[in-house]
Chain A
Amino acid sequence: MAVLQKATRHEMEATARRSRVQALVMDTSFMALVYGVLIILAVVTVLPYYWMVINSFKTIDNFYTDPYSLWPETWSLEAYLNAVGIGRVTVYLRNSFAYSAVVLVAQLLINSLAAYAFARIQFKGNNVVFLAFLTTMMLPGSVTLIPTYVLVYSMGLANTFTGVVIPSFAGAFGVFLLRQFFLNIPSELEDAALIDGAGRLRIYWQIIIPLAKPAMITLGVFIVLAEWQSFIWPLVVLTDYEKYPITVGLNLFKDEQRVFWPYILAGSVIGSAPLIGIFLISQKFLIGGITLSGLKG
């Protein structure tokens, strides 16, 4: 009896060990599969960029004899010098910086003022006006393109700096995002300030804005990404290439320089580098913002 028991126990332990080993092998091979797929997809994602960067450092001759070598024969700045010289890429870059900066400041200020009022002041019509704000988010951009042009044109702002940025001075998405954040800020501090006789503007500027920094940064990243990437609006509202942002400028450069691809690629590297830099710095805020708007939106 005891022997039998011992044998069964022995057998059971062996089986358990076997299944543990089996599970380990299964898990390891599964994880190998997971990482294998991820690495292949990551390579597929990054390879076109790698190709763009490497080829922007090739000479024209090197590029055309060997466009798929993954290393330049000699590192050359020829393409970059020409992208700046012939391609006026620095002019476009400066314009994009200016447009993005103005829209960033305007939207953060205008949206946060409205968001503060919606979140904290019980004024008559608060909810109705807020709903009206939200409905503007449902308008597809293709419907507003023509009338926005007509309005900007009628104000005499076609082909001007102001004309490019003025339609983006306020955004319902930004008001919504900031309002949600302000609602979660405890109101004790403000109540104390109100009793002390502080005005609404002072409370907004000295209490709310400093506490809302993360939300302001998140919205700020969204605004800059959208403005930097905008294409169709500057394309239709501008006629002088000196005022083009980088997106429209690069497209023009492509039409002018069909044969000098490394120049175009160098321009593309210059044009996307600021966004990649901003992304790497502000990744946490950006991804937090996307998941927030994606799940609750």
Chain B
Amino acid sequence: MTTDSATKRRRLRGQVFRDTVSGYLLISPAALFLLVFSFVAIVVSLVISFSDWSPLRDEWSLVGIDNYKRAFENERFWKSFRNTGQYVVFLVPGVVITSLGLALIGNHARKLRSVFRTLFFIPVITPGVVVALIWIWMFRADGGVNELLQYFGVSGPNWLLSAFWAMPAIIIMTIWSLIGYYMIIFLAGLADIPEVFYEAAKVDGANRLQTFRHITLPLLRNPLIFVVVTLVIAAWQVFTQMFVMTQGGPASATESVQWSIFFNGFQRFDMGLAAAMSWILFAVIFIFTATQLKLFLSRQLY
């Protein structure tokens, strides 16, 4: 009896040991890559940001907070922050309002629903570079956008060559390219709202606006939080549109923070400065995300 339970215990311990070994063996390839390209990368990035490492030289040394100081004193870097801030402030509400509006309208369409969904999704699966190439032409002085404005008697600017209009042009194009993706998230959110709520509202004589304000909007809270938070994070890191369409110009008007990081790190090979800039950007993204989550999650909407 006692020997029997001892063997059982021993066998169990053997099983636990075998499970631990096989568990770690199975996760080891993934763990290795994530360890190197995430955890080691963070450490490397921190070290670089306090050093003068460059692929052009063999020797390097630690320089303290010199890179951060240079970043803070860099006028062009601050301009890129203001530019990106503008981009975020206009892009995020623009995308949320248009994609939510489209989802609300599309939700009423029973027929041809999948056809519309497919059409609106095409810009999402097109590589950003191709989208940017198409819109370079659209935004020319004699481009498609101005051609269209001419119909309404408006003579449009030379969008991408104007320091004032280049950023709005990029924002408009990006909203256009993102609507389909976020529409799908909102459509799924709308589908999750039980029909009974709408029936109850109808019985109570609520109009469309009241129904939207008091039923749809509160019950779309989770998708809304997800969309706003992820969109803000992505928007702060905007790069491709600026690089392909304007190269940061005219007169630095479309230089984004990520553009500054790229320019200093990979064109001037001032990697320490670029790494310091990326940590400043990270701090900003972190503060934005934490604030939003605190705001959203503390307010009881329903």
Taking the closest CB of chain B, its distance from the CB of A259, in whole angstroms, is: 12
Cβ of B206 < 8 Å from any Cβ of A? no
Q: Which of B31, B33, B44, B240 meets A147, CB within 8 Å?
A: B44
In the complex, the chain A residue whose C-beta lies closest to that of B279 is A143
| Complex: A30 Cα to B45 Cα, angstroms | 56
With known contacts A236-B266, A291-B188, A123–B30 Cβ distance under 8 A: no
Using Cβ atoms and an 8 Å threshold, which residues of chain B touch A280? 118
Cβ of B244 < 8 Å from any Cβ of A? yes
Taking the closest CB of chain A, its distance from the CB of B175, in whole angstroms, is: 11
Cβ of A83 < 8 Å from any Cβ of B? no
Q: Once the chains bind, are A68 and B120 in contact (CB under 8 Å)?
A: no
Q: Once the chains bind, are B108 and A140 in contact (CB under 8 Å)?
A: no
Taking the closest CB of chain A, its distance from the CB of B212, in whole angstroms, is: 14
In the complex, the chain A residue whose C-beta lies closest to that of B181 is A290
Cβ of B41 < 8 Å from any Cβ of A? yes
Taking the closest CB of chain A, its distance from the CB of B26, in whole angstroms, is: 4
Cβ of B129 < 8 Å from any Cβ of A? yes
Using Cβ atoms and an 8 Å threshold, which residues of chain B touch A121? 19, 22-23, 26
Cβ of A110 < 8 Å from any Cβ of B? yes
With an 8 Å Cβ cutoff, the count of chain A residues facing the other chain is 87
Q: Which of B133, B137, B187, B262 meets A250, CB within 8 Å?
A: B133
Give residues of chain A (258-279) contacting chain B, Cβ–Cβ below 8 Å. Answer: 261, 264-265, 268, 271-272, 275-276, 278-279
The interface-forming segment of B159-167, B270-278, B294-302 is B270-278
With an 8 Å Cβ cutoff, the count of chain B residues facing the other chain is 89
With known contacts A34-B108, A49-B134, A170-B34, A116–B237 Cβ distance under 8 A: no
Q: Which of A34, A38, A126, A295 meets B226, CB within 8 Å?
A: A295
Using Cβ atoms and an 8 Å threshold, which residues of chain B touch A122? 19, 23
Cβ of A151 < 8 Å from any Cβ of B? yes
The interface-forming segment of A10-18, A72-80, A226-234 is A226-234
Using Cβ atoms and an 8 Å threshold, which residues of chain A touch B261? 142, 145-146
In the complex, the chain B residue whose C-beta lies closest to that of A278 is B125
Using Cβ atoms and an 8 Å threshold, which residues of chain A touch B130? 247, 250, 268, 271-272
With known contacts A121-B22, A143-B282, A290-B181, A31–B108 Cβ distance under 8 A: yes
A contacts, CB < 8 Å to B? 30-31, 34-35, 37-38, 41-42, 44-49, 51-52, 67-68, 110-111, 113-114, 116-118, 121-124, 126, 129, 133, 136, 139-151, 153, 158, 166-167, 169-170, 172, 175, 200, 204, 225, 228-229, 231-232, 235-236, 246-248, 250-251, 254, 261, 264-265, 268, 271-272, 275-276, 278-280, 283, 287, 290-291, 294-295, 297
The 4 A-B residue pairs with the shortest CB-CB distance in the complex, in nearest-first order = A123-B23, A291-B188, A117-B26, A114-B30
